């Protein structure tokens, strides 16, 4: 399939001013030449130099003009895929885009599979696998932090670090295996002190990368925030205020929210996934009971919990609920929301502020209905997220596949450390080192030979990339 010439629309679906149709493969230039006529017949695509642009028309089989376009030529290996490539910039009409695709297919192209351009770039050595996956992350980035992480990984700093570690490990395991060939002479080629130093360094690096996944995963996928509370305390109103739209139904009827509602919002460059949940109360309604079960399930999944209190209710009831929710959200970041302050007297506010359960926790007094205190909640959320400042050279793991490979590599490295401490035979130490090399290589693609694994990775990409 890699010998085929492929084509696809690389811009997002919908109507826009400009669209890009991408063509790649050994016949890409000749295929585009067959459907393109330069203005004033100045030159054809075949004679066009790489990294240059020509202006002209796309012509169909009847000699009719389909559109005025710009043709950008990239000759191998100086292209994204490492192959001869052409990008056709046409007008954004869906009809025009389809007409150009049909002409390309009629002249020998086939439609590209999802992620096939990036897969070819990987196969042709233009990038390693972790960089290829960073391309998908960059396209999907919806916050400043996610964008920065994807850019850092795309630059190859993560890959360079892993490749250095693999190279040093490979050198040592080669020396250990050489010792085995001269075992009768009892010659030591691999300095055990240096190996101990290297292995301990690699263990520290892998531990740091593994621990960074909690931050990276939150940045990439959004920090889950569960909005919880009793019925009619203003949870859905708060969600609508956070999103600045009427996303959830608001009613005076108790138990209106029967299921969870999830929406994404970005504050201060950090993405949050807000989850509105069913009100917690004793009920015989089977459907509402299922919703309440889901509420506690979402609490388990959340990183931050927003317990919402109705300030108009009695101090006793509020204290009881706040105490119960603290018990049920152990280990979670909590920000208590004291809602409906537009109806709150100063005396009641003072009493609430003095409650021990609220003085020991982050707490925001607000009116979800009128938007009072909203900015304070935003700042509290950003603080609770605790996302560190990400530098241009910082490496943070965001990919679950990388995380799993690092865990396996670390297991092998810990066995190496144990083997060295117990003077285990070099044959077993070498095997554990090779296992760690293998799992580190899975991240960059150096140890992947299975086409099915590569297919599973790239099929998640969009078509045209």
Give 264-290 pLDDT, tens digit per residue: 888 877 888 888 776 665 555 555 556
Question: What rounded mean pLDDT belongs to the chain?
Answer: 81
Task: For residues 463 and 465, give the distance between their C-alpha atoms in angstroms, rounded to a whole number.
Answer: 6
The residue among 186, 214, 179 whose CA lies nearest residue 433 is 179
For residues 430 and 102, the model is more confident at: 102
| 353-398 pLDDT tens trace | 778 777 788 888 888 788 787 888 888 888 888 777 776 667 788 8
pLDDT of the residue at 254 = 47
pLDDT of the residue at 280 = 62
In 124-274, which ranges are continuous DSSP H helix? 129-140, 144-154, 157-181, 192-221, 235-243
The residue among 416, 397, 406, 414 whose CA lies nearest residue 438 is 406
**Does residue 255 contact residue 236 with C-beta atoms inside 8 Å?**
no
β-pair type (110-111, 363-365): unpaired
How many helices, marked H, and strands, marked E, lie in the chain?
A: 16, 14
For residue 409, is pLDDT > 80? yes
> Tokens representing 162?
């892993």
pLDDT of the residue at 255 = 46
pLDDT of the residue at 177 = 65
pLDDT of the residue at 8 = 95
pLDDT of the residue at 334 = 87
Q: Cα dihedral angle (372, 310, 286, 259), rounded to 10 degrees?
A: 20
| 134-185 pLDDT tens trace | 888 888 887 777 888 888 888 887 888 888 888 888 877 776 666 565 555 4
Task: For residues 201 and 195, give the distance between their C-alpha atoms in angstroms, rounded to a whole number.
Answer: 10
Q: Tokens 């083997």 correspond to what residue?
A: 419
pLDDT class of 88 with cuts at 50, 70, 90: very high
Phi first, then psi, for residue 86 (nearest 5°) are: -135, 135
pLDDT of the residue at 444 = 84
> Tokens representing 434?
């090779």
């Amino acid at each position: 399939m890699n010998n085929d010439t492929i084509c696809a629309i690389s811009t997002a679906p919908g109507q826009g001013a400009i669209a890009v149709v991408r063509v790649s493969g050994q016949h890409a230039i000749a295929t585009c030449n067959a459907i393109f006529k330069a203005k004033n017949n100045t030159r054809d695509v075949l004679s066009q130099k790489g990294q240059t642009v020509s202006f002209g028309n796309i012509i169909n089989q009847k000699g009719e003009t389909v559109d005025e376009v710009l043709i950008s030529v990239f000759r191998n290996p100086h292209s994204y895929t490492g192959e001869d490539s052409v990008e056709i910039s046409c007008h954004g009409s869906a009809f025009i885009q389809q007409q150009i695709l049909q002409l390309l297919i009629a002249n020998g192209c086939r439609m590209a599979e999802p992620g096939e351009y990036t897969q070819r770039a990987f196969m042709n050595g233009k990038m390693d696998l972790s960089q290829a996956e960073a391309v998908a992350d960059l396209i999907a980035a919806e916050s400043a932090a996610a964008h920065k992480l994807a850019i850092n990984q795309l630059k190859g700093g993560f890959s360079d670090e892993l490749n250095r570690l693999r190279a040093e490990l490979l050198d040592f395991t080669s020396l250990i295996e050489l010792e085995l060939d001269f075992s009768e002479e009892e010659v030591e080629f691999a300095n055990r002190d240096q190996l101990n130093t290297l292995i301990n360094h690699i263990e520290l690096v892998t531990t740091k990368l593994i621990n960074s996944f909690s931050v990276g995963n939150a940045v990439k996928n959004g920090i889950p925030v569960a909005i919880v509370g009793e019925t009619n305390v203003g949870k859905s109103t708060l969600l609508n205020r956070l999103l600045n739209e009427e996303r959830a139904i608001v009613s005076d009827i108790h138990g209106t929210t029967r299921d969870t509602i999830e929406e994404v919002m970005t504050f201060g460059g950090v993405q949050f996934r807000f989850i509105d949940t069913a009100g917690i109360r004793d009920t015989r309604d089977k459907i509402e009971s299922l919703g309440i079960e889901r509420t506690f399930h979402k609490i388990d999944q959340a990183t931050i919990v927003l317990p919402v209190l109705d300030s108009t209710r009695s101090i006793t009831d509020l204290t009881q609920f706040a105490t119960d929710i603290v018990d049920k959200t152990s280990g979670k970041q909590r920000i208590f929301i004291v809602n409906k302050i537009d109806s709150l007297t100063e005396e009641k506010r003072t009493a609430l502020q003095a409650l021990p359960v609220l003085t020991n926790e982050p707490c925001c007094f607000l009116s979800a209905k009128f938007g009072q205190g909203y900015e304070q909640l935003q700042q509290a959320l950003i603080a609770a997220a605790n996302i560190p400042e990400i530098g241009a050279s910082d490496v943070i793991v965001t990919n679950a596949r990388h995380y799993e490979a690092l865990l396996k590599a670390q297991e092998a490295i810990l066995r190496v450390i144990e083997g060295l401490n117990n003077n285990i035979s070099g044959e077993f130490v070498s095997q554990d080192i090779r296992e760690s090399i293998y799992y580190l290589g899975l991240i960059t693609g150096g140890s992947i030979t299975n086409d099915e694994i590569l297919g599973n990775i790239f099929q998640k990409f969009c078509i045209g990339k």
